Amino acid sequence: MIYLDNAATSWPKPPEVLRGMTDALERSGGNPGRSGHRLSIEAARLIYDTRELLADFFNSGDPLGVIFAGNATHALNLAIYGLLRPGDRVVTTSMEHNSVMRPLRHLERKGVEVCIVPCARDGTVDPAQIAQVVTPGTRLVVSVYASNVVGTIMPVKEIAAIAHGAGALLLVDAAQAAGALPIDMQDAGIDLLAFTGHKALLGSPGIGGLVIRAGVDASQIEPLMRGGTGSQSEIEEHPDFLPDRFESGTPNLVGIASLKAGIEWLKEKGLDAVREHEKDLTRRLIEGLSDIPGLHVYGTLDAEKCVAIVSFTAEKKTVSEIGMRLDEEYGVLVRVGLHCAPAAHKTIGSFPEGTVRLAPGIFTTHTEVDIAVKAVAEVVKT
């Protein structure tokens, strides 16, 4: 089996991640912040250590601004619904995932002005076009860091400067970028970063978060949920301090442990080395697929300008048939369709059928990529 669906969920996980999850249950199995006994204290220590690790990994400047959530979708909803009110203006791009588009379309019906900047067919965006519509009074700018359809990396630092120049905050969807690219929130000017743990950060499903950069006024963000936090239990008003303001209920301790182990593994390997390996794989995929007659490969076709995601369509085969045959006949696992991003597919010209998406990961080999390319060539010609 050759697994090329890492953009959906990375697999396999490093053994250290599996051990970290087991250790969390065996050694830190208490409810953090809810008791004073040793297991509760150990669980709370594991969670805070992970906050510190993430704050350093993304250079956010404040561990207390690391808010744990179920996934990137949860984190994006926390920021979008927490910030936007009827009459506000929000600017985003045409390459966004439905985790951004659906909340914005819902708020649009409630009186939020939504402006979508069209991107080019390769998934790139011109910052000058963003600057034209990010007018004074714009409340929020939302941008994906790297497209989940074609992998294109956005000019986040330039977008941040434009947003800040108009007095707006920048929210970045880093679901595909976190763990695949070095991210420096303070240098890039990212105010709010949504991430998920189960993709390039190599953690388990069910964990993600919103990182609030130091200096951003979190009081302007309304909590998405309110409830038990283990703090200020003597009052019935929700706490207003971080991270409790945005975290209610028992946290996913096992997921947080997996995230901690995944990031530690990445730091030991070196993110630059991971990036170079995935660029090599991406380059190999782009070159191999581009040589197949009747195939159209989307995106910039430049491994330097994208994460490890390559999408294609074939002239005489549906994407569903290609995906099914790759799995059943060759053991190559890919994802086909619209990838929960219809706006992106409309932008690149692959709507409504979508594309076949190949997404190698850190454990993918050059040989596996070559086998996958050969399998695609055989499927589309027969």
Active site amino acids: 340
Rg (CA), the chain: 21
Residue labelled with tokens 């409810």: 31
The CB density around residue 325, as the number of other CB atoms within 10 Å, is 18
Q: Where are the alpha helices (DSSP H) in 58-155?
A: 72-83, 98-108, 127-133
> Between the CA of residue 217 and those of 52, 65, 240, what are the distances in Å?
20, 10, 12
- CA 305 to CA 144: how far, in whole Å? 14
Burial class (CB in 10 A: 0-12, 13-18, 19+), 252: buried
What the block records as the tokens of 290 is 């581009």
Check the CA dihedral 53-59-62-68 and report its sign. Answer: negative
What's the distance, CA 299 to chain centroid? 18
What's the distance, CA 294 to chain centroid? 32
What's the distance, CA 366 to chain centroid? 25
Which residues, other chains included, contact 270 with Cβ-Cβ below 8 Å and sequence gap of 6+? none
For residues 36 and 181, is the Cβ–Cβ distance under 8 A? no
Which residues are bridge partners to 117 per DSSP?
93
3-state secondary structure of 367: helix
What DSSP string describes 316-364? SS-HHHHHHHHHHHH-EE-EEE-TT-HHHHHHHT-TTT-EEEEB--TT-
- CA 102 to CA 35: how far, in whole Å? 39
